[in-house]
Amino acid sequence: EPEVTQTPSHQVTQMGQEVILRCVPISNHLYFYWYRQILGQKVEFLVSFYNNEISEKSEIFDDQFSVERPDGSNFTLKIRSTKLEDSAMYFCASRDRVGNEKLFFGSGTQLSVL
Amino acid sequence: SQQGEEDPQALSIQEGENATMNCSYKTSINNLQWYRQNSGRGLVHLILIRSNEREKHSGRLRVTLDTSKKSSSLLITASRAADTASYFCALYSGAGSYQLTFGKGTKLSVIP
C-alpha cells in the first residue's frame, strides 16, 4: 500500500536554529497536513495545504512556522527559530480528494530542541 | 473547534476479551473516524462512519454512531496483544473544514 514518508525520523537542534522537516505524501493525493504531538499529549492540528496554499491553520502555527510544496512530491514544514517547547513528534498526513475524508499519516519526525 | 472526547482514558483487558471505547462530541457531523496509534508511531485509519449510518463493521471492529446522543463507540472483539495501542476518534471541525481534530484518546492495554 502507498505510504507517506517522513525524513528524518529524528532531528536534534539547538534552540534558535531553523529546522526543515520533510514529507513525501502519497503521489495522487491533493490535501496535505502537518500535526504535532508533544510527549504524552494529544495529536494537534497545525496546518492544512491544498492547491498550493494554506487552507487552514491553528493558533500553534504562528509566524515561526511555514510550509512549502517546492516540487510535485515534497511537502515541508519549516520552523524558523526553534524553541524548547517545539520539541514534539511531527506528523505529516495526506488525503486524496474531496469526498474521501480518510487521512494517511507518516511515521513522524521526533524533533528535540536543546 | 469541534473535537471528540474519548472515554475511558485507559482500559486494560485480558486477551480474548472485548474492548469498548466511546467518543462524545458537541455539534452535528457529516462523519466520524477512528484511528489507532501504536506507541511512538503515526496514526492509522481504522474506520469511518457517516452521519446516516448507525453501525459499521470491519473485521473485528464494530463502530456505532448515535447522532441523537452525539456519541460513537468502537468495539474490538476477541482482542489480541497486538491491539495494544491508543485509539482516537476524529472529526472535521465544521462544514467545509479541512481540519481533522483528534480527541485525547483511549489507551488500550491487552494483557496476554
User: What is the domain count for chain B?
Assistant: 1
What's the mean pLDDT in B35-46? 92
Alpha-carbon distance A17 to nearest alpha carbon in chain B (angstroms)? 25
Per residue of chain A (114 residues), what is the pLDDT tens digit?
789 999 999 999 999 999 999 999 999 899 999 999 998 888 999 999 999 999 999 999 999 999 999 887 899 999 999 999 999 999 999 998 877 889 999 999 999 999
Please indicate whether, in this complex, the C-beta atoms of A101 and B48 are within 8 angstroms of each other.
yes
Alpha-carbon distance A30 to nearest alpha carbon in chain B (angstroms)? 12
Contact of B9 with chain A, judged by CB distance below 8 Å, is answered with no
Domain A5-97+105-113 CATH (choose: 2.60.40.10, 3.40.710.10, 2.60.120.260, 3.40.50.720) = 2.60.40.10
Q: What pLDDT shows up at residue B1?
A: 60
Q: What pLDDT shows up at residue A21?
A: 97
Residue B27 belongs to what domain range? 5-111
**Could you tell me which residues come within 8 angstroms of residue A71 by beta carbon, excluding any fewer than 6 positions away?**
none
Contact of B59 with chain A, judged by CB distance below 8 Å, is answered with no
**Could you tell me which residues come within 8 angstroms of residue A111 by beta carbon, excluding any fewer than 6 positions away?**
A11, A13, A19, A21, A79, A82, A86, A87, A88, A89, A90
What's the mean pLDDT in B92-98? 76
Domain boundaries, chain A: 5-97+105-113
- Find the closest chain A residue to B87 by CA distance: A42
Alpha-carbon distance A102 to nearest alpha carbon in chain B (angstroms)? 7
Please indicate whether, in this complex, the C-beta atoms of B42 and A106 are within 8 angstroms of each other.
yes
- Residue B28 sits in a domain of what CATH number? 2.60.40.10
pLDDT tens column, B49-81: 999 999 999 999 999 999 999 999 999 999 999
